């Protein structure tokens, strides 16, 4: 497992390069490697305890991060004979109030993802009850603590981390003395959970959670984090001082706590982002470019105006000493960035292109400027919308379309059967409980709304419905934000399109921090399909892969391979295309908890910020810029 410059092997880090880190961290190339390592550790503990005739007492979390661990343990049990009969479990938390069979219940989550597939005895499974009468809550929480003590205490507790830094549901302000209790959920936590509940208003305002003290009493703690959206809070928890504003930082006090991250969630750590600040580094060309950009922005100078003293004052002595003339280094970095600027004549023309869009708006949000130029360059373009996006449509949008159809039915010659269907659909919507999965017919209507908006969006740049392909991939069609794993059928759908179109270029969403994980899953589906495609075809038929971002994050300047400039008219056209997605305008169902801006605002401000940063580095001044990473494959 090789890691990027500045990071260590998955086994951990040296004292030399991690002296800012107050909690030991193991960094893994991929989330799957992280999950497998944790599962193997648990399996070894199970075997050790069984040999000693003892139970293993585990504290377990929910959420997307631990699912991989549970999947590996299930596989080990079913295929390798892992016996979990000596395991006792205590879950961290549960929403309150919450019935155990509700769609969003952690009871249901744990049974569907783990307990129903292994041989842990039912009497050994403990999950906080979200349906306890309120007057009995205090006694119930005390009893839960006593059950943990009676079991001998927690041998190992697994944790995730929220963007507010909470562990369990211990929100900012929770202290190390806290025990299992009812807590009021932070606004950020509720926004993060909104996707599971079909909107903020349906998220419970309280939860039952183990306390920070309960967690710190465990003999061993493993906190797992994956994804770029977790990187800032991981850095705060690990490198900054202990504070109850970030309850995960209390793990600094634990004698046997370890944080397991993938490369993305470790991205803000000093040893990964700016490793020259903590240890001697091997100055690869890539790292030199990153360091010079960092220095220029830190001292607020254009690259070609940097002086040797700037390098020495900012811990870049070794880089300065590597070059006889600092001006030559700065010129090299400047020219490297300048050559990445791609005007219309520098991007593909008269070629076959497939643009994979996870949702029916990511194409124009993230690469509307590039798409506009590709159309003008007379490329043969297919925009493949990978999911139908139905879960993100408000019922109120459906009611608006129903009202229109009812009012215009006579004009269009609608018969009674049509009006009857519309009335039935309206009744179904009225009968739905908050947070309930939409019936299939309603999901289909919502998909049609997203499809029609997608076509309207690409019409702005000169395409039409014939250029749109709606893949409607099966993994997405659960009616909830929680999706199925990518399966063979999903991969085959993508592969069939690649075989049909034989594209010379494909565009794939590379912003993997969307709160519900659809972008990441679509990326994996394309990755698996592309691998099969490349195995079948000669190298000259392998498409160039362009990774775009924009909905949730942007490529860093040093990471970008291509900068596509946009004029004000270009950016205005891109925004007009985004506006065609009316169901996502003004108030999107799932905007993400950490960014209150509308998607068009994010796209505009990110594109303009990239242009401003390039200008400040001394490159040409553009109105806006989109960034891309290019390769002939997709990394894991």
pLDDT in tens, 560-570: 999 999 999 99
- CA 235/CA 64 separation, integer angstroms: 20
Task: Assess whether 221 and 327 both reside in one domain.
Answer: no
Nearest by Cα to 505 from 626, 387, 631: 631
Residue 4 domain-assigned?
no
**Structural domain includes residue 567:** yes
Q: How confident is the model at residue 168 (pLDDT cuts 50, 70, 90)?
A: very high
Same-domain check for residues 63 and 137: yes
Distances (CA, A) of 525 to 192, 493, 541, 635: 25, 9, 20, 12
- For residue 610, name the pLDDT band (cuts at 50, 70, 90): very high
179 Cα distance to chain centroid: 31
Cα separations in angstroms, 565 against 296, 372, 505, 570, 614: 21, 12, 20, 9, 11
CATH (domain of 383): 3.40.50.10320
* Distant-in-sequence, close-in-space partners of 599: CB < 8 Å, separation ≥ 6: 361, 365, 551, 578, 581, 584, 588, 591
- pLDDT recorded at residue 597: 80
Sign for the CA dihedral angle at 297, 303, 306, 311 comes to positive
Tell me, what's the pLDDT at 588?
Answer: 59
The percentage of residues in the chain with a pLDDT greater than 90, rounded to a whole number, is 77
Q: How many angstroms separate the CA atoms of 40 and 278, rounded? A: 32
* Within a domain: 471: yes
Q: What is the pLDDT of residues 450-487, one digit of tens each?
A: 999 999 999 999 999 999 999 999 988 775 545 678 89
Question: What pLDDT does residue 173 have?
Answer: 92
Question: Which 3 state secondary structure label does DSSP give 487?
Answer: coil
* Spacing of C-alpha 11 from chain mean position: 24
Per the prediction, the chain carries an average pLDDT of 91
- Res. 12: pLDDT tops 50: no
* Residue range 297-340, pLDDT digits in tens: 999 999 999 999 999 999 999 999 999 999 999 999 999 999 99
Q: How confident is the model at residue 187 (pLDDT cuts 50, 70, 90)?
A: confident
Is residue 83 scored above 80 in pLDDT? yes
Residues 256, 297, single domain; the answer is no
**Do residues 259 and 405 share a domain?**
no
- In this predicted structure, what is the pLDDT of residue 194? 73
The pLDDT of residue 4 is above 60: no
Enclosing domain of residue 158? 25-272
The torsion region of residue 63 among left (phi > 0), alpha (psi -120 to 50) and beta comes to left
Which phi and psi angles does 67 have, rounded to 5°?
A: -55, -40
Which distant-in-sequence residues (6+ apart) come within 8 Å of 499 by Cβ?
533, 536
565 with 580, same domain?
A: yes
Alpha carbons 494 and 533: distance in angstroms, whole number? 10
Average pLDDT of the segment spanning 618-630 = 97
Is the same domain home to 113 and 89?
yes
Helix (H) / strand (E) containing 374: helix 362-376
Determine, yes or no, domain membership for 20: no
Count of H-run helices and E-run strands, the chain? 20, 17
Give the long-range contacts of residues 488-493, CB within 8 A, separation 24 or more.
490/525, 491/525, 491/528, 491/529, 491/532, 492/529
533 lies in the same domain as 614: yes
Per-residue confidence at 8, pLDDT binned at 50, 70, 90?
Answer: very low
As a whole-number percent, the residues of the chain with pLDDT over 70 amount to 93
pLDDT tens-digit profile of 384-431?
Answer: 999 999 888 988 899 999 999 999 988 888 788 889 999 999 998 888
Top pLDDT among 443 and 89 is at: 89
Residues in Cβ contact with 392 at an 8 Å cutoff, skipping those fewer than 6 apart:
359, 450, 583, 584, 588, 589, 590
In a domain, 8, yes or no: no
| Res 13: pLDDT | 47
Q: Looking at the structure, tell me whether residues 447 and 498 fall in a common domain.
A: yes
- 176, 185, 179, 189: which is closest to 248 by C-alpha? 176
Same-domain status, 35 and 117: yes
Q: Domain containing 93 — which CATH number?
A: 3.40.50.1360
Greater model confidence, 156 or 264? 156
One domain, residues 81 and 117 = yes
Residue 192 pLDDT level (bands cut at 50, 70, 90): confident
**Per-residue model confidence (pLDDT) at position 522:** 93
Residue 237: pLDDT band (50, 70, 90) is very high
What band does 613 get if pLDDT is binned at 50, 70 and 90?
Answer: very high
Single residue among 215, 246, 272 that ends a domain in this structure? 272
- Final residue before a domain boundary, out of 221, 240, 272: 272
Whether 259 shows a pLDDT value over 60: the answer reads yes
Please report whether residue 13 resides in a domain: no
Q: Please, what is the angle between helix 440-459 and helix 568-579, to 10°?
A: 160
User: Is residue 136 predicted with pLDDT exceeding 80?
Assistant: yes
**How do the residues of the chain divide into helix, strand and coil, expressed in percent and rounded to 5?**
45, 15, 40
Note whether residue 3 is domain-resident. no
Question: Tell me, what's the pLDDT at 593?
Answer: 46
Among 91, 467, 31, 453, CA closest to 225: 31
Residues 428-455: pLDDT tens digits? Answer: 888 887 767 888 899 999 999 999 999 9
Among 121-135, 199-213, 604-618, which is the least confidently predicted range? Answer: 199-213
Which are the contacts of 160, defined by CB distance < 8 A and separation ≥ 6?
61, 63, 65, 66, 167, 223, 224, 225
Which of 21, 171, 239, 504 is the catalytic position?
A: 171
509 and 543 co-located in one domain: yes
The larger pLDDT score, comparing residue 486 to residue 246, is at 246
pLDDT for 80: 97
3-state secondary structure of 310: helix
Is residue 2 situated within a structural domain? Answer: no
| Residue 187 appears among annotated catalytic residues | no
pLDDT reading at 592 higher than 60:
no
Write the CB contacts of 161 (distance below 8 Å, at least 6 apart in sequence).
Answer: 167, 223, 225, 230, 233, 234, 237, 248
SS3 167: strand
pLDDT at 227: 84
Please check the confidence at residue 71 and state whether its pLDDT lies above 60. yes
Q: In the structure encoding, which two tokens stand for residue 518, read together? A: 């659809």
Taking Cα atoms as reference points, which of 476, 478, 477, 474 lies closest to residue 489?
474
Among residues 338, 368, 388, the one where a domain terminates is 338
The pTM is what? 0.85
Question: Phi/psi of residue 515, each to 5°?
Answer: -65, -20
The count of domains in the chain is: 3
CA–CA gap between residue 32 and residue 501 (Å, rounded): 31
Q: State whether 316 and 428 are in the same domain.
A: no
- State residue 16's pLDDT score: 56
């Amino acid at each position: 497992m090789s890691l990027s410059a500045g990071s260590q092997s998955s086994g951990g880090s040296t004292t030399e390069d991690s002296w800012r880190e107050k909690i030991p961290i193991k960094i893994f190339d991929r989330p799957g490697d992280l999950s497998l390592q944790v599962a193997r550790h648990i399996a070894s503990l199970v075997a050790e305890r069984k040999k000693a005739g003892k139970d293993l007492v585990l504290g377990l979390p929910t959420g997307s991060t631990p699912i991989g661990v549970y999947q590996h343990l299930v596989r080990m049990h079913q295929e390798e004979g892992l016996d979990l009969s000596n395991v006792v479990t205590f879950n961290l938390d549960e929403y309150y109030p919450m019935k155990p069979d509700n769609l969003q219940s952690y009871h249901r989550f744990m049974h569907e993802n783990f307990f129903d597939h292994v041989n842990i005895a039912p009497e050994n499974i403990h999950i906080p009850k979200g349906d306890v009468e309120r007057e009995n809550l205090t006694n119930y929480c005390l009893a839960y603590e006593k059950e943990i003590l009676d079991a001998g205490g927690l041998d190992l507790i697994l944790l995730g981390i929220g963007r507010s830094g909470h562990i369990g549901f211990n929100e900012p302000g929770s202290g190390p003395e806290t025990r299992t209790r009812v807590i009021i959920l932070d606004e950020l936590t509720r926004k993060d959970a909104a996707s599971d509940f079909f909107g903020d208003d349906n998220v419970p305002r309280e939860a039952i959670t183990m306390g920070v003290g309960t967690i710190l009493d465990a003999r061993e703690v493993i906190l797992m984090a994956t994804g770029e959206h977790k990187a800032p809070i991981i850095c705060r928890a690990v490198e900054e001082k202990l504070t109850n504003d970030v309850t995960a930082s209390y793990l600094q006090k634990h004698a046997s706590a370890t944080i397991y991250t993938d490369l993305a969630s470790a991205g803000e750590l000093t040893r990964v982002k700016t490793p020259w600040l903590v240890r001697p580094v091997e100055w690869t060309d890539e790292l030199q470019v990153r360091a010079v950009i960092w220095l220029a922005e830190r001292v607020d100078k254009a690259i070609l105006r940097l002086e040797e003293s700037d390098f020495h004052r900012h811990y870049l002595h070794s880089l300065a000493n590597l070059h006889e003339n600092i001006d030559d280094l700065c010129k090299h970095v400047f020219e490297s960035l300048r050559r990445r600027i791609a005007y219309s004549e520098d991007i593909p023309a008269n070629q076959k292109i497939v643009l994979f869009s996870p949702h029916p708006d990511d194409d124009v949000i993230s690469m509307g400027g590039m798409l506009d130029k590709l159309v003008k360059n007379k490329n043969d373009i297919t925009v493949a919308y990978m999911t139908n996006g139905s879960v993100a449509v408000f019922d109120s949008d459906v009611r608006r379309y129903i009202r229109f159809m009812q009012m215009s039915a006579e004009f269009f010659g609608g018969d009674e059967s049509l009006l009857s269907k519309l009335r039935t659909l309206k009744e179904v919507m009225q009968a739905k409980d908050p947070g309930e999965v939409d019936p299939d017919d309603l999901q289909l209507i919502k998909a049609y709304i997203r499809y029609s908006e997608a076509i309207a969006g690409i019409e702005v740049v000169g395409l039409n419905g014939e250029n749109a392909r709606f893949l409607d991939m099966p993994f997405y069609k659960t009616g909830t934000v929680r999706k199925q794993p990518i399966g063979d059928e999903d991969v085959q759908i993508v592969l069939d399109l690649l075989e049909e179109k034989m594209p010379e270029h494909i565009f794939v969403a590379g912003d993997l921090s969307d709160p519900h994980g659809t972008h990441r899953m679509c990326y994996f589906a394309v990755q698996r399909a592309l691998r099969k495609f490349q195995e079948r075809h000669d190298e000259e038929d392998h498409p160039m892969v362009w990774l775009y971002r924009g909905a949730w994050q942007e490529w860093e300047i040093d990471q970008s391979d291509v900068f596509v400039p946009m004029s004000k008219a270009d950016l205005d056209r891109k925004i007009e295309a985004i506006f065609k997605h009316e169901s996502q305008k003004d108030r999107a169902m799932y905007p993400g908890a950490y960014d209150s801006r509308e998607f068009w605002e994010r796209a505009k401000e990110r594109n303009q910020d990239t242009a401003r940063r390039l200008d400040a580095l001394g490159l040409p001044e553009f109105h806006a810029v989109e960034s891309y990473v290019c390769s002939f494959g997709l990394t894991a």
